[in-house]
Copies of this chain bind each other. A is one copy, B any other.
Amino acid sequence: MKLTKGQKLIFIGDSITDCERNRPAGEGLFGALGKGYVGYVDALLQAVYPELGIRVINMGTSGHTVRDLKQRWQEDVIERKPDWLVVMIGTNDVWRQYDTPFIPDGHVYKEEYEQTLQALIAQTKPLAQGIVLMTPFYIESNAQDAMRATMDEYGDIVRRTAEQHGCLFVDTQAAFNKVLEQLYAATLAWDRVHPTAAGHMVLAKAFLKEIGFEWDRA
Interface residues of A, Cβ cutoff 8 Å to B: 6, 27-28, 30-31, 33, 35, 39-40, 42-44, 46-48, 50-51, 53-55, 95, 98-103, 142, 144-147, 179, 182-184, 186-187, 190-192, 196-202, 205, 215-216
Q: How far is the CA of A30 from the CA of B189 in the complex (A)?
A: 9
On whether A196 and B28 interact (CB within 8 A), knowing A99-B187, A101-B53, A186-B95, the answer reads: no
Beta-carbon nearest neighbor of A47 in chain B: B201
Q: Which of B30, B183, B192 contacts A50 (CB 8 A)?
A: B183
B215 contacts A146, CB within 8 Å?
no
The distance from the CB of A181 to the nearest CB of chain B, in whole angstroms, is: 8
Chain B residues, Cβ within 8 Å of A179: 47, 50
Q: Which of B99, B186, B198 contacts A99 (CB 8 A)?
A: B186
Chain B residues, Cβ within 8 Å of A33: 197
A201 contacts B43, CB within 8 Å?
yes
